Every structure is written in structure tokens, then in C-alpha cells.
Amino acid sequence: MKTYIYTAVLLASALSKGYGMDTSSYGHQSYGKETVNSIQANGSVLLEGTKVLGAVNINGNLEADEASIGSLHVNGQVGLTNCLVSNQSVVNGSLSAENSNFQGEISISSQKILLRTCSVSSLKVREVMGYRGVQVVDLRSGTKVTGSIVVDSGNGEVWLSSNSEVNGSVSGATIVRK
């Protein structure tokens, strides 16, 4: 009986503050216009107008639209539109983002990353095990990287559209103007 009362008190406390409890799940999960502390998932996750105060940790795919995320760690595909990531983003897989703001470093292990109309503090492209091809960072439609871009493999290309810019240094990659 004490366990049930304790659980009810914790739930009421979290809800009274306007925050959802930490969420851990398997399979497909969808979140709407709500605030949660964190998300831990194995499978696909959809965020639509969701505010995640802390970390989003996913083994699977993430699609987010108009979401605010504390930090991001995804092993899989990531698609972001009109999103804000306040702290570090770690992606082991593909990343495609549009009109999104990455206030912390993006650390990614991928063959290609596509950013359209984004703001990025810095970008580190880690090697992909067994991949010998060129790792591409495609910056389009006015994307701005305020810090540096580092490609660990030394075999990278930064595709830079005419209205995109990198204010910091670029190492391990050549810049290709598009």
C-alpha cells in the first residue's frame, strides 16, 4: 500500500510542475505538444511540438518537428525540422536538418550530413568503421557554422552553398563551393 501511495505522490508532484515523467519505451512512440524530462527509446520516435528538458537517447530513428531538446544521442536516422538542440548532439547514423539550431557541438559518425537553413556551433565528423569513401557535410540555404568543422578520417568534403558559411576552421576536409 505504501508503494502505491509513494508512486501517486511522485506522479502528482511531476504533473503539478507541468513536466512529464522520464519516458522509456520500445517500438514506435509519438509525443505531441507536451513537456517531458527525458526520452529513452528503442525504436522510432516522433516529436511534434515537444519540449524535452534533458536528454533524448534513442536506438532507432528520430523525426522531430518544432521540438526543443536538451541533448541528443541517436544510433540511427535523425530528421529535424524547426528544432532547437540546446546541448551536444551525438549521432551514429544519418542526419538531415532544416531550419534548426544546434547550440552545442554535433558529433556524428556518418557518410553524409545535410543541413538546410541551420545554425551550428561546431561539427565533428567521426570515422565510419569500414567506410573508405568521402564523408560529406552538405551545408545549404544559408546554414552557418560559427565554430570549426573537423573530419577525423581526413577524407571529407564540406559542400558549401553560395549563401552558407563556416566561420571557424575546417580540418580533415576540403571545401567544395556549390
Mean pLDDT of 115-137: 97
Domain spans of the chain, in order of start = 20-102, 105-178
d(CA 114, CA 70): 21
- Position 125 scores a pLDDT of 98
Q: Residue 32 above 50 pLDDT?
A: yes
Q: What distance lies between CA 24 and its chain's CA centroid?
A: 18
d(CA 1, CA 149): 56
- Position 27 scores a pLDDT of 84
Tens-digit pLDDT profile for residues 66-113: 999 999 999 999 999 999 999 999 999 999 999 999 999 999 999 999
Give the confidence band of 5 by pLDDT, cuts at 50, 70, 90: very low
- Position 1 scores a pLDDT of 46
- Position 109 scores a pLDDT of 98
Mean pLDDT of 31-46: 97
**C-alpha cell of residue 138:** 552538405
Give the confidence band of 21 by pLDDT, cuts at 50, 70, 90: very low
- Position 23 scores a pLDDT of 52
Q: Using a pLDDT cut of 90, give the percent of the chain over it.
A: 84
DSSP assignment string, the chain: -HHHHHHHHHHHHHHHTT-BPPEEEES-EEE-S-EES-EEEES-EEEES-EEEEEEEEES-EEEES-EEEEEEEES-EEEES-EE-S-EEEES-EEEES-EE-S-EEEE-SEEEEES-EES-EEEEPPTT--S-EEEEEETT-EE-S-EEETTS-EEEEE-TT-EE-S-EESEEEEE-
